[in-house]
Each structure stands twice: as C-alpha cells, then as structure tokens.
Structure 1
C-alpha cells in the first residue's frame, strides 16, 4: 500500500489549498512542503474558487473560526466538489461553542468531505451536534484504550457511514475507517501534544497524500497519520539524545517528515487492520 502512494506523490506532487487557522498556518505550510507537496493559504471569499480550481486538494480547518471564513469554506468546498478534487475537514474544537457546532453542521450539509479528522471528543460532538468538549483536546473519558477499543471502532464505522467519509479519530490509538475497513495506528509520542499544531499538520499531510492519490482516501489517511506518528517518535529520539526541548522537537518533526521514505514506513509502522 505505502509503495504506490509514495510513488504517486513523487510523480504528481500536489498543490494543497488550506483554509486553516492562523495559529498553525506556518506549520501547516512547512509540513506540506516537507511531505512533498506545495501549500497555498487563501481564505478570502473573493478568491477561494480560483485557488481551488488550480489545486489538487482542499484542507478546511476551523481552529480559529469566524463567520467570514465559514462562508469562504463553504464556497471553496462546493467548488472542490464540482471539479472533483478531495476535501479534508478538521472540526477543531467542535462541541466547545454554538458557533463551531453550527459551522460544522453547515459545512457537512453543503460539502462532501473525502476525509474528516479529529480527536474522539470532536468526532462525537460532530456526530451528535452537541456541546461535548472543553476545548481542542479530547476529554479523558473519550480516550481510546484496550478496554473500549471495540466500541470505539464500531462508533467510528457508524460515523463514517453516516457522513459517507473516511473518518480518522486520532489519539494514542488512531482509528481510521471508511465504514467497512478499519485500521488502527499506534505510532506517535506524547510529546507531540506539547507543541501547537501537530493535529493541524496531520490534516495537511492527509491533504498532500490525498491530492496525489484521489481514488484512495482511506489509504492516504492511513499513510499520513502513520507518517506523522513515526516523525514524532524520531523527533523524540533526537531531543532525548541531545537533551533538547520542545522547539527542537518541532524542528525534528518537520525534518522527519521530509526524510520519510518507504523503508522507514515499512520498518516503523505500527498498524493493525481490523
């Protein structure tokens, strides 16, 4: 699976249009470049259709939400659907406010998403359209572990079928499903949660692989999340070895994505197909 995805990425490097939050926009741009794509950040409603028209994929992230960008997101998403390029949604913090719930509801009603990625609390809030989170982090009771893994898998499959999208519920154990197939990913390191933007960067990397592998949203999501988890592990190894801190961890994370190859993935991927 990994070999074909990587070959397609090398042969057809994608231009990924990001309508994302201003906290992590620079990180998203850099991780797209590191992964082998080209980033384009544009959210003004007067140009989003033009930008989508020249792009390979669209990544929508509601991290720093306002009503102006919701209109741009809908317009860009509709254009992407019309011309047949994939769209990724990251419903950051959905459940934390009425505005976020309404924005996600509007987006899902108007745009077909190839992939929806979020932590389990966000996925649950999106599914129920209810206030369910205390911020952008998953609640403790929503953490996936060996005791609740079966029910978590069945829930993600149900969400995928309802929204007709690949669902990626991220956490210590990532669950990716297209409603039938399920892959569990156990790569990553807790230090990833101590720097801003690793979730947003993961969404951008999904956009990169999806932009070059439009017919396989499921596999593109699996390789993107696995790559980010592996990069986090390698970054942690480096900062530990050199007795460095979080800013260097962020740099090494981007470095590891830029150096990701088939051998690294095949040797380091901790994935399980269910």
Structure 2
C-alpha cells in the first residue's frame, strides 16, 4: 500500500509542490465528466489515469499518488473497481454524487466510508445525507447552503478520521477540529458539467504532495482563483469551460495567498461555528 508521509503545506507551497511532482491521479469517476476531469488534472500539472476496471483498479491505486472515487454513474463493474482501490491506498477522495434519495449509490457511499477516505468532497445536501442528517438534494444540485452542513461535516470528519470539504458559494473544509472557509470563485462553475467532480480530482492530486486538510484547502483555493480569472474573460458557460482550463494552468502560487480569502477557526473557540 502506498502510504507517503503527510506534509503540511500552505496553498501556494502545495501548488508549487504539485507542479514539481506531477502526481499520478487515478480517477474512478462519472462517465459524464471523464474528459473534462482529465483535462483539469493536466491543466493543474497532474497526470490523470481513468483506471476503474476490476483486476486493475486495486493494483493501480497502490502506485497512484492520489485516487478519486466519484459516484456519479456507479455501475456494478465500477463499484467493484472502487472496492479494490480503496483497499489499496489511504490517499483517496470520496465524492458522493447525488446520495440521499437514490438507494444504490447511498448504500455504496456508506460502505465506502468504512474504508476511511482521506477527503470527502460534496455539496451541502450530499454531505448532510451522507452524515445521516438529510435526504439529499435535487439530483446532483444542492438545496442547502454550506453553513447548514457545518455540523454534519465536522461529525463526519471525526467519524472517518479524515477531512470533509463542502463546496458552495463559500467552501468549508474541516478535519473535525479546524474549520477553514474559502471565499471567492464564480457561479459559472455551476453551469459547467464536471466543475465539482473535477474539484474532487484536484484534491486527489494535492493528496500526492500534502496532508488531507491542506490538500482540500489548496484545491478549493486554486479553484476559486482560477474560476474568477476565467469568468473575467468569458461570455458564458462554453467559453468559461475553456478559460477555466487555461486559468488553472496560469494561476501563480502567490495568487493562492494574495487573492483567495481563507478564514481558519478552531471549533469551540470564539468565532467558531
């Protein structure tokens, strides 16, 4: 099993490390978004591999620097590949797409949680449903705001021993003790198929160079900075999708400190939620 020691890095240092290392990222992911996800990983400086076949998925996870398991289109064969992968690595991200109302993926997400993902990434409705505190959203769309899932996210993080990242207008990332809020970004991200799914893949890429909390924060911060840059030169969702790939490649590490608005609070202290 690949068990690289965790390293604590700021978002800017994490991006520098990612581009230097070009981590290998295995994606067991949604059939709707494979091409866009691969292009996003290439843009940030990682190496994508869409390896989800049973008999190969576990072997590949053992050599990958990070693994994404996305439940967008969880066919039986892909579920078996995911089972192999999560037994072979500790550096993996669970994206519980549309859990709650749909029984097959909801049960499978609960099964995968027992293997302790390093990061769980979802929208507020998905995180609430995964934590047993809600019924899910409207398909893949959230019906709750980020702060509504804050307590569920902290509880889920403590239960798994990992990190939970809640995507929204203001992203929330927690390890159950610290809570990090990342502002910024652009609403056009919600108008592009694969925007959230690809963010999970970028978190998996950062797992190859830093510990889970820093990986989730760095990925969310990079996405916020890149989406703002892309939106400034786009006329709509189509041009935004192309501009986002360019922006992910262009964002300088220093921008993650200078442009992203990151607020850290410790649970139970003044200002904590």
Q: TM-score, normalised by structure 1?
A: 0.89
What is the aligned partner in structure 1 of residue 187 from structure 2? 190
Aligned counterparts of 1:222 and 1:92: Cα–Cα separation in 2: 20
1:33 to 42, 47, 51: 42
Q: Are 2:231 and 1:236 equivalent residues in the alignment?
A: yes
What is the aligned partner in structure 2 of residue 134 from structure 1? 138
1:118 to 104, 117, 122: 122
* Residues 19-63 of structure 1: CA deviation (Å, up to 9, x unaligned): 001100011101111111100001110211222132111110010
Where does structure 1 lack aligned partners over 5 or more consecutive residues?
Answer: none
Aligned counterparts of 2:152 and 2:110: Cα–Cα separation in 1: 19
2:67 to 36, 58, 66: 58
* 1:166-177 alignment, distance < 5 Å: 166-177=163-174
* Residues 112-154 of structure 1: CA deviation (Å, up to 9, x unaligned): 2100000010001111186432210101xx113xxxx4x6433
Q: RMSD over aligned Cα, in angstroms?
A: 1.5
Distance change (3 Å), C-alpha of 1:10 and 1:192: closer
1:156 to 149, 153, 158: 153
Farther off after superposition, 124-133 or 193-202: 124-133
Quick check: 2:11–2:218 contact (8 Å CA) kept in 1? yes
Quick check: 1:101–1:129 contact (8 Å CA) kept in 2? no
What is the aligned partner in structure 2 of residue 70 from structure 1? 79
Where does structure 2 lack aligned partners over 5 or more consecutive residues?
Answer: 1-9, 266-273
Quick check: 1:101–1:130 contact (8 Å CA) kept in 2? no
What is the aligned partner in structure 2 of residue 102 from structure 1? 107
Quick check: 2:133–2:152 contact (8 Å CA) kept in 1? no
Aligned counterparts of 2:213 and 2:36: Cα–Cα separation in 1: 24
Structure 1 or 2: larger helix share?
1
Aligned length: 256
What is the aligned partner in structure 1 of residue 242 from structure 2? 251
What is the aligned partner in structure 2 of residue 221 from structure 1? 216
